[in-house]
Chains A and B, each alone.
Chain A
Amino acid sequence: MIIRAMKDDTGGQILLAVLLAAVLLVPILSLAVPDSSPLHLSTYTVTLLGKYLCYALLAVAVDLVWGYLGILSLGHGAFFALGGYAMGMYLMRQIGDRGVYGDPVLPDFMVFLDWKELPWFWQGFDMFWFAALMALLAPGVLAYLFGYLAFRSRVTGVYLSIITQALTYALMLAFFRNEMGFGGNNGLTDFKDLLGFDLQSDATRAGLFVASALALGLGYLACRIIVTSRLGRVTVAIRDAESRTRFIGYRVEQIKAAIFTFSAMLAGLAGALYVPQVGIINPSEFSPINSIEIVIWVAVGGRATLYGAAVGALMVNYGKSLFTAVFPDAWLFALGGLFVLVTLLLPRGLTGLLRQRSAG
């Protein structure tokens, strides 16, 4: 199945090979090679790379629904953030009595708000398996409910994009509220350890990098399996001629809801891996601009290729790191210009350009 899925996907093969190499090399370069060596990777770099991989997974998830199903989701930032909050809640509970107020159960912000007991929706988050499950289920259930309602009513195209944006905007406003019980403005932070491993240690960071690379690799494979199956051909059929697909007997809304849900869960996974690496999750992750930025990563890489999305996410974020270090003020000009140029001049993205070159 995997061989069949990857057979004609040169870009994907390269991506997986690079990921495999990174999984093997990065921990060695970070942990075994001495600090003095030029080959040594600092913890900062490892964390940065791990962050990029989470973004890449997120971009692959967006490409699955945008490239193959025609749904321009402006809500994937929300699914990412929900996954991140689930992980953040686990990490908060791991702090235990090491918080500023030293309450063994309640996180600091709850003590600060003078709450007496843990709200019901925080129950269970002291267990890693539960939090991990929620990181997938919370975005998955939301995506399924939202998607099923929207797709059943045949909300498509820009309308769908706009209401996905409204969804993430509403969630952002909600998470900003202290009463929601997710730390309000400040979100969740001051994490100490994950499964007993100190989050600040080099080894944990390398481990998180490896986990992110594996998640990206497996997520990529899963998406490839879907798009090379008959279901994948049906999604493209829906993208190109939705009503025709319906008239040959496919239940379009169920297929859309299923793919959308799967994609949201991938986004949630990416968020869950992202949070322990950056050490904070707050409501600004829900901001609509984040969701649109993901779309531009996909567009830069080339939509409907999957590996293009990953490449786009890595390139744009690397560019962002470079740019904001050198000309912090110009980043928005560059990003804005990127949006305009890619849509006008590179509708198939950079990988499309490469394929054109190699074909012609």
Chain B
Amino acid sequence: MSSSRHGTRGNAPILAKLLLFLTCLTLTTGLSAETLEATLAQLAERSFKVKLEAVESIATSEDGRALSILEALAAGELYTWKGVPRVVIGRKSGRTMHLLDPLTGQALGEGRAKKIILNNAMRVALRGAIAARTLSSPDPAARLGAAREMLGDTSPAATKALATQLEREQDAEVRAAITLALAIARLGAQEADTRLAAVTALEASLYPEARNALLPLAEADPDPAVKAAATKTLEDIDQLLAWNARAETLFFGLSLGSVLVLAAIGLAITFGVMGVINMAHGELIMLGAYTTYLVQSALPGWIDYSLVLAIPAAFIVSGLFGIAIERTVIRFLYGRPLETLLATFGISLILQQLVRTFISAQNVVVQNPSWMSGSWQINPALALTYNRLYILIFALLVFAALLVILRRTALGLEVRAVSQNRAMARAMGVRSERVDALTFGLGAGIAGVAGVALSQLTNVGPNMGQAYIIDSFMVVVFGGVGNLWGTLVGGMTLGIANKVMEPWAGAVLAKILVLIFIILFIQKRPRGLFPQRGRAAEG
């Protein structure tokens, strides 16, 4: 678009251009263009009152091009041309200002221009006018947007536009939106019956505008019936809103829970199944997040796809690191969990410093693919962001995949055999060393995959792993060591508990309370929510 504008830019004398333009104008638009032109000129006046009148006049104009003028004005693109008494569209490119004709869109070359200044009353009028005009647009989506925009606009012009459009509207969704906007507008009607009908129409509406409009009626409507109806409707709406707020808290809780589960589930394998305390688990998550960053950097134009590619990459990177850690350090420390704790903590320090030295000590920017941004608007009071939604689903998928691996594959069988009775498993021909390495690699790989997901939610930096290690251990211990379902339920429970407490306790205090709760919980049930039971566990 900008190139075409540049292309038509010329150095012809301004007067000649103007003449040419005027000729074109009279040829193409005739009389209505002249009136529109005259109104446009009013916008160049200083007085806001005059300008407001101009806006209203353009708004009611029959002319099809009025909308684009209003939009340009609202966007702050309308200027007065210095030295020439006319209003133009101005677009800045660097230090030069390209001028266009607001009616035809034709380029007028460069020039100096002064922006038309708006005040609040004009902005409100503009918004309403644009919406009212868009309401008759052939595009249903645009009409829907306009109807939503006009919620709470009680001006007679808006009411009229809405009522007119409602009569010819075919699309059900747009009809509903218009009905709603109309009802809100009619809450201010003189006749009590109209107001009552409007109140009834607003039942169970979750739009904040509806609630705001109902408030004064419930407080002080002269008609008792209307007042009672408004009060009742308002109460119902508040109740609905409360439920939606609860649903939102639940979603946030599940979202946090899914992060906890993702972070903890690899640990559930290394700690729960193998009995290894891996303090470097957080750093394996970090490596996964950095893998995402590296994959994105290697494929700069493919942000939408590179995230998917990063999942197996992170699994492999963290998994290989995990196998290396197991082979070089942990295998000498089986049966000495406290020593494992110290050694793996040392490894975590080394991994952090590796990232600081070879990548950066600062946080890196991991981009969100377009399909992860935005949100799913379930109703006006409840929207679920896609990134959290996808990560929740992703966590459940990873969990399911892990269950399948442990329950249905040969590796899973061997892992369970070795974890239950190492000597017997070896006697049966299971190569326990290989199983140890693979199990640890699996736990580490899953940490890497968790890192991919976390890179979409939090800062990616050398210290990110430390933020998750204590939480992860808490989840595993709370859920019950050696029980994957415990990790899922434990993580989700803690996530929800955290988010439920946050509104009244604040984020930090909520976290402290959750930690204290777990500390006390472990005193009561040292084996967690889902303990491994039976005679063997007694020993």
Contact = CB atoms under 8 A, between A and B. Distances in A.
Q: Do chains A and B touch in the complex (CB under 8 A)?
A: yes
Interface of A: 72, 146, 149-150, 152-155, 157-159, 161-163, 165-167, 169-170, 173-174, 176-177, 288-289, 292, 295-296, 299, 329-330, 332-333, 335-340, 342-344, 347
B10 interface: no
B353 interface: yes
B247 interface: no
Given A173-B511, A337-B346, A339-B346, 16 more contacts: A72-B338, A153-B522, A153-B526, A155-B526, A162-B474, A162-B477, A166-B519, A167-B515, A170-B515, A292-B342, A329-B353, A332-B350, A332-B356, A337-B350, A338-B346, A340-B343
Given A173-B508, A288-B470, A337-B350, A155 B343 contact: no
A276 B340 CA distance: 36
Given A170-B516, A339-B349, A159 B477 contact: yes
9 contacts: A153-B526, A155-B526, A162-B277, A162-B470, A162-B474, A169-B515, A329-B353, A336-B349, A344-B329
A194 B333 CA distance: 48
A154 B515 contact: no
Nearest to B325: A340
Contacts of A167: 515, 519
A239 B277 CA distance: 20
Contacts of A292: 279, 342, 345
A336 B339 contact: no
A340 B470 contact: no
Most B CB contacts (10 A, CB to CB) among A170, A174, A330 go to A170
A166 B526 contact: no
A283 to B, nearest CB: 11
Interface string B448-470: 00000000000000000010001
B346 A176 contact: no
Nearest to A292: B345
A73 to B, nearest CB: 11
Given A72-B341, A167-B519, A176-B508, A159 B526 contact: yes
Which 10 interchain pairs have the tightest Cβ spacing?
A339-B346, A336-B349, A336-B350, A332-B353, A170-B515, A336-B346, A343-B343, A153-B523, A340-B346, A343-B339
B305 interface: no
Contacts of A343: 333, 339-340, 342-343, 346
B397 interface: no
A149 B525 CA distance: 12
Interface string B499-539: 00000000011011001101110111010000000000000
Q: Is the interface of B mostly helix, strand, loop or mixed?
A: helix
B353 A165 contact: no
Interface in B268-318: 277, 279
A150 B518 CA distance: 12
A142 to B, nearest CB: 12
Most B CB contacts (10 A, CB to CB) among A162, A170, A347 go to A162
Nearest to A165: B470
Contacts of A169: 470, 515
A158 B337 contact: yes
A341 to B, nearest CB: 8
Contacts of B342: 292, 295-296, 299, 339, 342-343
Contacts of A166: 470, 473-474, 515, 518-519
Contacts of A347: 339
Contacts of B473: 162, 165-166
Contacts of B509: 177
Contacts of B466: 288-289
A113 to B, nearest CB: 16
A288 B463 CA distance: 13
Contacts of A299: 342
B44 to A, nearest CB: 52
A141 B172 CA distance: 68
A339 B345 contact: yes
Contacts of A296: 342, 346
B470 A329 contact: no
Given A165-B470, A166-B470, A177-B509, A158 B352 contact: no
Nearest to B354: A333
Contacts of B357: 329
Nearest to A299: B342
Contacts of A170: 511-512, 515-516, 519
Nearest to A296: B342
Contacts of A330: 353
Contacts of B341: 72, 158, 161
A343 B342 CA distance: 7
Interface string B331-368: 01100011111110111111011001100000000000
Nearest to B509: A177
A342 B332 CA distance: 13
